[in-house]
Amino acid sequence: MPTAVSLFSGCGGSDAGIIRVGFDVLMANDILPYARDVYLANHAETDYRLGDVASIDTFPSAELLVGCYPCQGFSQGGVRKPDNKINKLYLEFARALTQVKPKSFIVENVSGMVRKNFLHLLEDQIKVFSEVGYRVRAEVLNAADFGVAQERRRIFIVGLREDLGLDYQFPTPTHGPDRGHPYCNIQQAIGDLPEWPEGEFYARKFHWYYLSRDRRRDWGKLSKTIVANPRHMPLHPMSPPLHKLEHNVWRFAYEGRARRFSYREAARLQGFGDLVFPDTKAGSLDMRYTVVGNAVPPPLFEAVARALPDVWD
């Protein structure tokens, strides 16, 4: 089995993807206690180190390094601060890369990084990783194109160690019109789950900001992006449709029961299957949504890892 080390591992979306490819994840790390709890409830065999990545002095040697450092600084929804300290966490990834020198690495981040005012940060990451000794490629991929029932565009940065003499080729989309398979829709992903899972969804009222755009998609469609903030979680299709009243003002077409996706449905729509959510002290409702919304859809990460050349011993 080829080996991997994972940083910024969260509840294990990226790692579930590489485990499906056949990697043995030797070590994972995150600062969030509930991310660790969920990860270990699903992959008990991994050595999960809880804490700030900066406090890890030595990383095990491995053939693949993966890391999805946080993205608040670039995210479409959050306040964009290009020079926020959180945007420097890629230097921690570069520190691990320099030490481990794996044959390959994979990084995922929000696609907002390709916007003009953040491009310098992306370019800096590519430069730093190239200087460590990697041929680096970056591309924005949509999870829907790889069988996930959700529109989720993310940037992937993949490196192959210089001495391998190879360039990485991103995978070709497998799902969607004129491809091998149709898109996977909301019905297929969550249609078998209970209609009103009391206690498993964020039930506060829909405030003006929530109703400033269309938050609902029908059963036969792809889901809107699953986010980490439960307040902004898209509507379940059992909810009445939203109609536009005026610019940035939407209203339910008729009175009826309406709710956001539950955290369990969000995990399915991220392509996790039935993720185990342990009832630990850190496992508040909000935190369940946070770890799921932060995750990389496993099938998308799997597709990127499967496209790596076979350079493993």
Cα separation, 286 vs 289, in Å, equals 5
Based on the shown chain and the rule CB under 6 A, indicate whether residue 270 belongs to the binding site for ligand SAM. no
Nearer to ligand SAM, 112 or 237 (CB): 112
Cα separation, 97 vs 26, in Å, equals 15
Based on the shown chain and the rule CB under 6 A, indicate whether residue 147 belongs to the binding site for ligand SAM. no
User: Which residue among 138, 184, 235, 296 contacts ligand SAM (CB under 6 A)?
Assistant: 296
Residue with tokens 């940035």: 248
User: Which residue among 2, 4, 12, 215 contacts ligand SAM (CB under 6 A)?
Assistant: 12
SS3 of 225, please?
coil
Q: Which of residues 40-79 bind ligand SAM (CB under 6 A)?
A: 52-53, 68, 70-71
Based on the shown chain and the rule CB under 6 A, indicate whether residue 5 belongs to the binding site for ligand SAM. no
Q: Are 191 and 220 in contact (CB under 8 A)?
A: no
Based on the shown chain and the rule CB under 6 A, indicate whether residue 299 belongs to the binding site for ligand SAM. no
User: Which residue among 18, 29, 217, 262 contacts ligand SAM (CB under 6 A)?
Assistant: 29
Residues 6+ apart with CB under 8 A from 208: none
User: Which residue among 125, 185, 239, 294 contacts ligand SAM (CB under 6 A)?
Assistant: 294
Minimal distance, residue 178 CB to ligand SAM, in Å: 30
Nearer to ligand SAM, 8 or 202 (CB): 8
Could you tell me which residues are beta bridge partners of residue 37?
A: none
Intra-chain end-to-end CA distance of the chain, in Å = 8
Binding mask 86-105 for ligand SAM (x = CB under 6 A): ---x----------------
Minimal distance, residue 250 CB to ligand SAM, in Å: 29
CA distances from 235 to 31, 193, 246, 298 (A): 30, 15, 20, 23
Reduced DSSP (H G I as helix, E B as strand, rest coil) percent helix, strand, coil of the chain, to 5: 35, 20, 50
Phi, psi of 242 (to 5 degrees): -100, 135
The answer to whether 184 is a known catalytic residue is no
Amino acid (1-letter code) at residue 216: R
Based on the shown chain and the rule CB under 6 A, indicate whether residue 125 belongs to the binding site for ligand SAM. no
**Catalytic sites, residue numbers:** 71
Q: Which residues bind ligand SAM (CB under 6 A)?
A: 8-14, 29-32, 35, 52-53, 68, 70-71, 89, 294-296
